[in-house]
Amino acid sequence: MTDEQLRDEVEAWLAANWTGLPAHHESFGRDPRSAWLAKVRDAGWAVPRWDAEWHGRGLSNDQAKIIERAFAAAGAPGTGQDRSNLWANTALAHATDSFKRTIVPQLLAGEVGMCLLYSEPGAGSDLAAVRTRAEKVEGGWRVTGQKVWTSGAAVADYGMLIARTDWDVPKHRGISFFFLPMKQAGVEVRPLRQITDEAHFNEVFITDAFVPEENLLGPLNGGWGVLQTALAYERSVMGDAARGPRSGAGGPKGDYSLLGLAQEAGRLDDPVVRQDVAQVIAWRVLNKLNTQRAKAELAQGTSSSIMSLGKLAMSRILHEEARVRGLLLGPESLLEGPEHPRAEDANFLALNAYFTSIGGGTDQIQRNIIGERVLGLPREPEVDRTVPFREVRAG
């Protein structure tokens, strides 16, 4: 199929099927757009780079971009998931064929809610130090431990879990990766109140919960490699974009970009303001180009250290945008509440910027990864890297 034929086909399909959806949807749990996403999946548009066996079309990256541009022009969601859906990409790369045939179609249509069960009270920056244990039983494993900072755990159907399955090897080699069913006895979710007065984060207490044998991704004790794939896609998503304003009010025309806010505030005549706004816009454009490059180099099921650069850059962008919004609003930025939507949104975005600085690996962790794996600098010393985990000291 030529590029022109492909463009005609996708545009005709969108014209016949796309009628629009509400712009806002809940970030966690099952996606309310699932009926539409299922149509996109069944037409082969959701993951056009994948083979037809897995709901794709086997297209090149260049032709897949034709589809993505057509969907973007129509304002339709659902395509490009072969680059952005961390759940489906991780499952496709590492799950058993039987589990993939069940879970991948559901993930592409948003028919199951997902969460990440990685961090623990004693294993945040060093995920290889997890102490949640999975013990082999007939038909699967029994899992016991505690996870924390888990977004969407209260509504998730599955959690992507890393757990210790071998205590007699060094820490990176005794971890396994599972899709843990969340709706079962033995999984208790407690919300954590955030600085934004939300409770998307949770702590999860797991007591003798069961995970079926087919829900193991990758080899037993080989979960660290699976985790690197999942983290690469997560950092790719976080490097692409971040949450917008909470109220959705923005300015009179709903434009909450820095440029729109500066125009509304009558501050574009100020050369310092123009320079600050231009700097943030330039950072965003540069980060978008870098992320596109990293995604183009990311083969399905692999990981890429370049993704850390995009995530770190987005963190910097969000904090700088928060500073400039405060500069533009002046004393108004001290206000809050629905009667002051501009200030309310500015303060929410300033506080929520710390989510990107912490989630998916802190800014400090990203700098380590970039230094060691991208720039080739010496590794930081790890005295416990070759010690059997059972012998590792813990506070």
- Confidence grade of residue 252 (pLDDT, cut at 50, 70, 90): very low
Tell me if the pTM is above 0.85.
no
8 Å CB contact between 192 and 230 = no
Architecture of domain 241-374: Up-down Bundle (1.20)
Q: What is the CA radius of gyration of the chain?
A: 22
Write down the pLDDT at residue 101. 96
Write down the pLDDT at residue 246. 61
- Residue 222 pairs with which residues in a beta bridge? 175
Place of tokens 């995920």: 127
φ/ψ (deg, to 5) at 69: -65, -40
Q: Which residues of 167-188 are buried (b: 16+ CB within 10 A; e: fewer)?
A: eebbbbbbbbbbbbbbeeeebe
pLDDT tops 70 at residue 272: yes
pLDDT tops 80 at residue 84: yes
User: What single-letter amino acid sits at 105?
Assistant: P
Q: Which residues of 255-275 are buried (b: 16+ CB within 10 A; e: fewer)?
A: ebebeebbbbbebeeeeebee
Listed range (186-190, 237-241, 342-346) with the worst mean pLDDT? 237-241
8 Å CB contact between 138 and 182 = no
Provide the CATH topology of domain 114-221.
Butyryl-CoA Dehydrogenase, subunit A; domain 2 (2.40.110)
48-76 average pLDDT score: 95
Q: For 94-120, what is each residue's pLDDT tens digit? A: 999 999 999 999 999 999 999 999 999
Percentage with pLDDT > 90 across the chain? 58
pLDDT tops 60 at residue 249: no
Averaged confidence pLDDT in the chain: 89
Domain map of the chain by residue range? 3-84, 114-221, 241-374
